[in-house]
C-alpha cells in the first residue's frame, strides 16, 4: 500500500512539473508576441484549449498594448469572462491557495477563515454539495473583493485588490434616489421577500421586484438585488437600490461575502 501511495504521489508530482514547464513555455511565447494579429491568434488558441490563465493574460496584453483598437471593448469583455471562469474553476491563481481540509471543517468554517463564501469554494472545486472530507486539498480564494457602483454609467464593477474582475450593467435610482458613499454588505438572502406598505410579497409572486437575490447594505432598505423586469436594466428607474439581472446578481452572490465594501459614486 505504501509503494502504491508513493507511486501515486510521484505521478502527481511529475504531472505538476509537466504542467509548469508547459505553462512557462506558453507564457514566454506570449511575452514575445508583439503584433495584434499574433496576440489575437494566441488568445483564441489558449481559450480553445482551456488554458484559462494564458488566455486571460493574452487578452489583457491586447487591451494594454492596443488601447485604441476598435476591438478593445471586445477584448476587455473576454478578459472579464475569463476572470469569472478562472474564479469558478479549480485552477490555482495568484489570488488563491491550496487548503487541506482538517477534521471538523465545514465549507462555512473554511469560508470564514479566508473571508470568502462557502458557495464560491463549492463552485470552484466542482463540489456537488457541501459534504467535504478531511485530507482533501481544495482551492480557496483568499483576496478581498470590493464593489464600485457608478450611477452616471449605471455600472457595477467587481474588484479584487483594485483589479477589475468584471463589469455589470445595472439600474440605479430614479431622481437620484440611490445614495452615494461607502457602505458594506451586511446580509445576503436567496429568493427574498419584498415588504411593500407593510405587506409581505413572497419571492414567487410576479409582483416581487427583488428578483432572486438580495445583498443588503448597512443603510436601511438599500442593497443590491435582482429583478422581475430584465428590460429595466441600464436605466435610472429604481427606488434607490442597485438592480441587476437575476443571472448577474446570482453570480455576484456566490462571489462576495458579508462585509464586502461597496462604494457608490455619482
What DSSP assignment string belongs to 139-172?
EEE-S-EEEEEETTTTEEEEEETTEEEEEEE-BE
For residue 49, indicate whether it is catalytic.
Answer: no
- Active-site choice (241, 242, 244, 256): 241
224: three-class secondary structure by DSSP? strand
- Active-site choice (139, 213, 225, 243): 225
Which residues, 6 or more positions from 174, have their beta carbon under 8 angstroms from its beta carbon? 236, 237, 238, 239
Residue with cell 485530507: 135
Residue with cell 478581498: 144
For residue 84, indicate whether it is catalytic.
Answer: no
Q: Which residues pair with 225 in a beta bridge?
A: 214, 243
Residue with cell 482533501: 136
How far from 74 is each of 41, 60, 67, 202, CA to CA, in Å? 15, 11, 11, 39
Which residues does the annotation mark as catalytic? 225, 241
Amino acid at each position: 500500500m505504501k509503494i502504491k501511495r508513493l507511486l501515486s504521489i510521484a505521478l502527481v508530482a511529475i504531472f505538476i512539473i509537466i504542467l509548469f514547464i508547459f505553462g512557462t513555455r506558453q507564457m514566454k511565447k506570449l511575452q514575445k508576441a508583439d503584433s495584434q494579429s499574433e496576440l489575437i491568434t494566441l488568445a483564441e488558441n489558449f481559450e480553445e484549449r482551456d488554458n484559462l490563465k494564458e488566455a486571460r493574460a493574452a487578452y489583457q496584453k491586447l487591451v494594454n498594448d492596443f488601447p485604441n483598437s476598435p476591438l478593445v471593448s471586445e477584448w476587455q469583455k473576454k478578459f472579464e469572462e475569463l476572470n469569472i471562469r478562472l474564479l469558478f474553476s479549480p485552477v490555482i491563481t495568484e489570488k488563491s491557495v491550496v487548503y487541506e481540509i482538517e477534521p471538523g471543517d465545514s465549507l462555512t468554517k473554511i469560508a470564514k477563515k479566508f473571508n470568502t463564501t462557502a458557495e464560491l469554494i463549492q463552485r470552484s472545486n466542482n463540489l456537488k454539495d457541501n459534504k467535504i472530507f478531511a485530507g482533501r486539498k481544495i482551492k480557496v480564494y483568499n483576496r478581498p473583493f470590493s464593489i464600485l457602483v457608478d450611477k452616471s454609467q449605471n455600472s457595477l464593477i467587481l474588484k479584487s485588490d483594485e483589479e477589475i474582475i468584471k463589469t455589470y450593467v445595472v439600474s440605479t435610482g430614479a431622481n437620484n434616489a440611490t445614495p452615494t458613499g461607502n457602505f458594506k454588505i451586511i446580509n445576503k438572502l436567496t429568493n427574498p421577500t419584498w415588504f411593500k406598505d407593510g405587506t409581505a410579497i413572497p419571492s414567487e409572486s410576479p409582483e416581487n421586484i427583488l428578483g432572486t437575490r438580495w445583498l443588503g447594505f448597512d443603510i436601511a432598505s438599500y442593497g443590491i438585488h435582482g429583478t422581475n423586469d430584465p428590460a429595466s436594466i441600464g436605466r435610472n428607474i429604481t427606488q434607490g437600490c442597485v438592480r441587476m439581472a437575476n443571472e448577474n446578481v446570482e453570480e455576484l452572490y456566490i462571489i462576495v461575502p458579508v462585509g464586502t465594501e461597496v462604494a457608490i459614486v455619482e
